[in-house]
Amino acid sequence: MRYSNKLILLTLPTIALILVGESRITILSKEVKEKMEKLLNHINKPRIKSFQTEHGYILDCIDIRKQQAFDHPLLKNHSIKLKPTRIPKWTKYNNTSHKPRSLPFGQDDIKCPVGTVIVKRITLEDLIQAQHLKSLRQVSSMNKKIDLTGHHFATVKYNDYHYGAKGNINTWNPYVSPDQFSLAAMTITEKLQSISAGWIVYPGLHQNQSSLFTYWTADGNKMTRCYNALCPGFVHVSTKYAIGVPAKPVSVYGGRQYHLEVSIYQDHVTGDWWFSLRDEPIGYWPRSLFKSEGLADGASAVVWGGEVYSSVKEKSPSMGSGHFPQEGFKKAAYVNGLKVITDITRVVSSPTASSLKTSANSPNCYNVKKILGVGEYWSRAILFGGPGGCTF
């Protein structure tokens, strides 16, 4: 089955555009601009209701059955699921020591009507910058076949078979230049297929502030690599939580800490991979997007932590809070409450200490420290990050 002409544009590595040096002026030919505007009209589905936010972007309520996910050829006859068959029973936290606050993550009490989903309206600039971001290749450190030049990681990896995981991802707002990004996420992977969720700062795509993002690829970033709702595949179900919006408030150095309570898990009946915030289902990646030797039946690894990108000509940006893990809680970034679903019975457990392997490919600029403490928050956790300043 082939993609339509409109969808071909979404799978190309880049759109024919020129980014002009430091001026950041994007020059588009008349033909390309017309194609992109046509594509934009196709992506932004007819809205039933809209909300103008204080941050300048627009949130639309669209018919759940008409969302862009179903433009994917593998989802033409997909039956929508409004919720997972069963939500995993992640252990409730009963230890208040060093207890951060989970983001409520609402958009000013905005909620869409039943039968719709809430989405961030895509602009022409969003499309342009998304294509540029793809060229930067957010890759996740697990695929060693991909050129990692310009990418720096500070992560912990659980390298065993599982059906989902959870982590509380500390939110920060690091400064990055227009051609850089800095993120913190959880990534689940099998072979060349992976799905991710967390926060990212990339000025062109998110107005230079930390924003909720999702990402998936079905072929090691070759042809399918999609952020947020910029291409078909991810099925959105939430009426109140949109992807691509600011992750606020962010943490304060030495002060109040906030995190995104992220979980990604495979439905034991349908095989779909669900993404939730605070156990609130946001949406899912249908099983049909993935191959049997990939994420169709479980995964072999999960990674938590940070990644930054910078071109070889520019010093790398800060990661997390911009401080090394040795500074400790409230000063370094963290991911805590690490959990995995280890078998087909969907039993939730803490990963063993020996199964968690830390990795930092530029330790002079970023590092990671494994925490094996007490209580549900800190029995399995990491501190990570650093000030940056590396070049290749």
269-289: average pLDDT: 94
Q: What angle do CA 320, 231, 271 make, to 5 degrees?
A: 85
Three-state secondary structure call for residue 186: strand
When divided into structural domains, the chain yields a total of 1
Dump pLDDT digits (tens) for 58-96: 999 999 999 999 999 999 889 999 999 988 988 654 444
Q: Do 325 and 149 form a contact (C-beta atoms < 8 A)? A: no
Its sign, for the CA torsion 181, 135, 129, 12, is: negative
Residues 146-168 pLDDT 10s: 556 789 999 999 999 999 999 99
Look at residue 128 and give its three-state secondary structure. Answer: helix
> What residues contact residue 367 under an 8 Å CB cut-off, 6+ apart?
154, 324, 325, 326, 360, 384, 385, 386
**37 lies in a domain?**
no
In a domain, 254, yes or no: yes
Is residue 312 domain-resident? yes
Strand partners, 199: 184, 212
Residue 88 lies in a domain: yes
pLDDT score of 257: 95
State the first-to-last Cα distance of the chain, in angstroms, to the nearest integer. Answer: 42
Q: What is the rounded CA–CA span in Å between residue 140 and residue 304?
A: 10
CA 154 to chain centroid, in Å, comes to 16
**Cα atoms in the 13 Å half-sphere on the side-chain side of 328:** 3
**Structural domain includes residue 391:** no
Residue 35 has pLDDT above 90, yes or no: no
pLDDT for residue 134: 57
Higher pLDDT, 104 or 382: 382
For residue 205, the SS3 value is: helix
Rounded to whole angstroms, how far apart are CA atoms 195 and 66? 23
pLDDT at residue 56 in the model: 80
Neighbours of 34 (CB within 10 A): 11
Domain around 271: 45-385
What is the model's pLDDT at position 37? 82
Closest residue by Cα to residue 326 from 359, 373, 296, 366: 366
Nearest to 257, CA basis, from 169, 159, 373, 131:
169
pLDDT for position 345:
67
- Please choose, from the candidates 188, 184, 194, 141, the residue with its C-alpha nearest in 3D space to the C-alpha of residue 166: 188
Mean pLDDT rounded to a whole number for the chain: 84
Q: Is residue 13 part of a domain?
A: no
Lowest average pLDDT, out of 1-5, 96-100, 306-310, goes to 1-5
Q: Is 361 exposed, middle or buried (0-12, 13-18, 19+ CB in 10 A)?
A: middle
Cα gap 165→171, rounded to integer Å: 19
Please enumerate, as own/partner, the contacts of 29-37 that have beta carbons within 8 Å and a separation of 24 or more. 33/124, 35/9, 36/9, 36/124, 36/127, 36/128, 37/124
Upstream peptide bond of 249 is cis (omega within 30 degrees of 0): yes
Is 392's pLDDT higher than 50?
yes
What's the pLDDT score for residue 8?
Answer: 27
Residue 275 binned pLDDT confidence (cut-offs 50, 70, 90): very high
Nearest to 242 by CA among 365, 132, 328, 117: 117
> Mean pLDDT: which of 4-13, 35-44, 129-138, 330-339 is highest?
330-339
Q: Is residue 38 part of a domain?
A: no
Winning range, highest mean pLDDT, from 38-42, 49-53, 153-157: 153-157
pLDDT tens column, 161-218? 999 999 999 999 999 998 899 999 999 999 889 999 999 998 866 567 899 999 999 8
pTM: 0.86
Is residue 9 situated within a structural domain? Answer: no
Nearest to 170 by CA among 55, 275, 325, 317: 325
Can you name the residues that pair with 336 across neighbouring β-strands?
168
